[in-house]
Structure 1
Amino acid sequence: MAEPGIIPLERALGEGEMALLRRALALGFPLAPTWVVGLEEEFFRLNNLPERIERLFHGVFGVRIDEERLVWAAEEAKKAVRESYLLPERAEAFLEGLKGRGPFLLRRAGKGDAHPAPSPKEALFALKRIWASAFEVEAILERYPSLLSPPAPVLVQEAEIPTEDPFLSLDLTQALGEEVVAYAWRGLLVRIEWPHGG
């Protein structure tokens, strides 16, 4: 798990894709500037979101699912996340860490669904949109009976939407010793998928 705050990938703890990206960087592959944000648990706790969300979904799941109430609760949960705030010092550190850079892509580590952001301020909004997306109806039904998804690090990368790079995929597969698919933007590695990995 990432430590709280926004830190460069090289200093971040974490397994899965984060570990593969760190290994690729250590092996000399050009990686898009990447930071790791590990603030989700703190953000939810300080804004009392677990209790607020629990109340929103009260009565939704009984003998049968109240579909109308489920849709309403999901929208309200997303709104609660988007309208909550990071600690001022966390928000300032986030903006300062990305100052003078951009554009950015934000996504959960190990996931390909990226949120573009042209500036550090927009990246901060995108971070909350990622956390709010955990309350799409399909996502809630997938993890029920748990209403909250486990906190996961978010990657902030100075890049635009990458495309699959078959040559980089081959080179990385050989260097890492496991089959991977690499996605790059302007020659910089952005994302690694490993079809047979965890």
Structure 2
Amino acid sequence: MDNPGLTPLAQAEAQGEVHLLRQAQDLGFPVGRTWVVGLWEEFARLNNLAERIGWLFQGVFGARIDEERLLLAAEEAKRAVRESYLLPERAEAFLEALEGKGPFLLRQAGEGAYLLARTPREALFALKRLWAEAFGVEAILERYPALFPPALPVLVQEVATLPPLEGGLLEDPFLSLDLSQALGQRVVAYTWEEALLRIESVHGG
């Protein structure tokens, strides 16, 4: 694998939604062109983010949550992520892999919220913004007592045109039914301009 940080879907490590998208692609469903980014752990380690962000949140969680300090710590944590750097060779490989392509939709595997980018360089900035959003107040409270998010892969998906930032991906009930039958489990399919971009597993269904 030439670039373990940015891998075409067909060669990516298959877990969770990445596995479902790979299966759908192998079965001939119209999966949009997708790359998988697995750089969070390396990025966090090289920029010493665990220690830096842990220090920011000291004293926030006690017998009660100090809401004012939580807000400040969350903003500083997001800033720390945005202002940190990928290894130069990773950034260059990311840009080279996406050269001449776009626009793009970026989101974490298994998550519905996404960011948009018109060019490869915008996609690189959006990647860090996506990582930074994991340190928003609501996200932190949801996973507390863990401060650090799980190392979810990021999906970079090429689209014909940019969807709206909210509500752009549309649930396709007929494709969902076909996919559920083909995959042997209940799933919901989301598309944009006839390209399958997201598969949500429906547990217990």
Q: CA deviation at 1:14?
A: 2.9
User: What residue identity is the alignment partner of 1:24?
Assistant: A
- Provide the residue aligned with 1:185 in structure 2: 192
Larger displacement relative to structure 2 (163-172 or 24-33): 163-172
Give the alignment partner of residue 170 of structure 2, picking from 145, 163, 169. Answer: 163
Bigger mean CA deviation after superposition, 43-52 or 12-21: 12-21
Of 169, 172, 182, 1:175 maps to 182
TM-score by length of 2: 0.91
Separation in structure 1 between the aligned mates of residue 180 and residue 116 of structure 2, nearest angstrom: 28
Structure 1: which 4+ aligned runs deviate by more than 3 Å?
A: none
Question: Which amino acid letter does the alignment assign opposite residue 16 of structure 1?
Answer: G
Question: 1-side partners of 2:64 and 2:185: how far apart?
Answer: 45
- Partner letter of residue 188 of structure 1? A
Question: What pairs with 1:134-173 in structure 2 (closer than 5 Å)?
Answer: 134-159=134-159, 160-161=162-163, 162-173=169-180
Task: Tell me, yes or no, if structure 1 residue 14 matches structure 2 residue 14.
Answer: yes
User: What are the superposed Cα offsets for residues 68-87 of structure 1, whole Å, 9 maximum, x if unpaired?
Assistant: 11100000000000011100
3-state DSSP of counterpart to 1:149? coil
- The 3 A distance-change label for structure 1 pair 197 and 186 is farther
Question: SS of the counterpart of 1:135?
Answer: coil
Partner of 2:46: 46
Q: State how far apart, in whole Å, the 1-side matches of 2:110 and 2:204 are.
A: 11
Aligned to 2:96: 96
Identity across matched positions, percent:
69
Cα distance in 1 between the residues matched to 2:19 and 2:158: 19
On the 8 A contact 2:14/2:22 being kept in 1, the answer is no
Q: TM-score when scaled to structure 1?
A: 0.94
Deviation at 1:197, TM superposition (A): 6.6
- Distance in 2 (alpha carbons) for counterparts of 1:82 and 1:117: 16
Equivalenced residue count is 196
Amino acid at match of 1:165: D
> Where does the alignment leave 5 or more consecutive residues of structure 1 unmatched?
none
Within 5 Å, which residues of 2 pair with 1:120-131?
Answer: 120-131=120-131
Unaligned runs of 5+ in 2: 164-168
Partner of 2:81: 81
Q: CA deviation at 1:4?
A: 3.9
Partners of 2:151 and 2:111 in 1: how far apart? 14
- For 1:178, the aligned partner's letter is Q
Q: Against the structure 1 CA distance between its residues 163 and 133, is the aligned structure 2 distance closer, same or farther, given a 3 Å change threshold?
A: same
CA distance in 2, matches of 1:7, 1:82: 23
